[in-house]
Amino acid sequence: MRITLKQLMIFEAVARSGQVAKAAARVNLSAPATSMALSELEKQLDTRLFERIGNRLQLNSQGAMLLPLATSVLQQVDAIELAFTPSATVLAGSLSVSASNTIGNFLLSKAAVAFSQLHPEVNIDLNIDNSRHVIREVAEFRAELGFIEGYCLDSRIDVSAWHHDKLKVFCHPAHPFAGQRVNPETLRDALWVLREEGSGTREYFVNAANKLNLRPEVRYTFPTPDAIKQAVKQGAGLGVLSELAIEKELNRREINVVDVVGMQLERPFYLLRHKHHSFTPLAKAFIEFCDNFLRLDKALD
């Protein structure tokens, strides 16, 4: 039995993307060739590696067992190639990154573009979803790096603090609480417009509110910051988002902040990696670049 590096690359690409077409684009092959290589690998191993669920391919138990082994082999090959590259400063290849909405939309999207412009041979595959989804992506080896605002208790994942943020309670300018400093008990009958379950923003706010014996009555739930801002601007209730997400609307006076006495809304951001997945040189370079980029971006603001 002769398993090739190309087969392992294709397997890993399909495992990360969940679709043959997307994997084919990552490994620069046609979809039929990618599908054929995957079938050949399964034939050589005498086992199926995926189950089809809807239009996606989901790793089965055998595939889940193979993925960390394949990733480890490919990382070692990358390390060998890097060690013998004439210029160690030249970065190339693909990096799969998963980030929660606030970090992905307002921080990493800008940093990823700047990094790719600096290193044209690099492709940053940035997926943006809620914190729960990001944790699952990292745990299942679909993303090499994860960035979240929520908590991660998954024992398979190494978690480290990475920058910080502040949530803001906000409302329509005509709301009675607009621009006011209010006590928590004043908000007991308030209606809220929040992110969906699984969102780090929602989880952090609800925990902060519960510490003040406040149980927010959620009137509307939306998966994106833009939808929440639009609902609040229509008078749907009080919203809670990162200060990064509402900066423009505050400057245009489309919304107003509500200061809640005693509510602690400072929160950390977290960097995730699988415990069985060491940072590649490309991942390390991207993390360092993001740190410097975000510090500079904040200073310029």
Rounded to whole angstroms, the Cα distance separating 84 from 111 reads 28
Distance (Å) of CA 81 to CA 74, 145, 297: 11, 21, 34
How does pLDDT run across 100-140, given as a tens digit for each residue?
999 999 999 999 999 999 899 899 999 999 999 999 999 99
Distance of CA 41 to the CA centre of its chain: 30
Residue type, 261: V
Q: Are 294 and 194 in contact (CB under 8 A)?
A: no
Cβ atoms of 171 and 177 within 8 Å: the answer is yes
Alpha-carbon span 151 to 79, nearest angstrom = 32
Q: What is the C-alpha radius of gyration for the chain, rounded to an integer number of angstroms?
A: 22
Residues β-bridged to residue 132: none
Least confident of 38-47, 67-76, 233-242: 67-76
d(CA 51, CA 15): 11
Is pLDDT above 80 for 80?
A: no
* Segment 276-290, tens digit of pLDDT: 888 888 999 999 999
Dig out the tokens for 117 from the structure. 């412009």
Supply the CATH classification number for the domain 1-84: 1.10.10.10
> Does the 164-267 domain belong in CATH 3.40.1580.10?
no
Handedness of CA 275, 280, 281, 287 (dihedral sign): negative
Which span out of 18-22, 207-211, 286-290 was modeled with the highest average pLDDT?
207-211
Which residue has tokens 């505050």?
250
pLDDT at 300: 45
Structure tokens, 27: 């490994």
3-class state of residue 209 by DSSP: helix
56, burial (CB in 10 Å: exposed 0-12, middle 13-18, buried 19+): exposed
Q: Where are the alpha helices (H) located in the chain, listed in sequence order?
A: 5-17, 20-27, 31-45, 61-83, 101-103, 109-118, 131-139, 200-210, 225-233, 243-251, 281-300
**High-pLDDT (> 90) share of the chain, %:** 71
Question: pLDDT of 27-40, one tens digit each?
Answer: 889 999 999 999 99
* Predicted pLDDT at 84: 64
Q: What is the model's pLDDT at position 285? A: 92
**So what's the pLDDT on residue 149?**
87
Would you put residue 13 in left (φ > 0), alpha (ψ -120 to 50) or beta? alpha
Residue 241's SS3 state is strand
Task: Give the pLDDT mean for 137-163.
Answer: 92
Distance between CA atoms of residues 159 and 26, nearest Å: 27
Name the band, by pLDDT with cuts 50, 70 and 90, for residue 293. Answer: confident
The domains of the chain are located at 1-84, 164-267
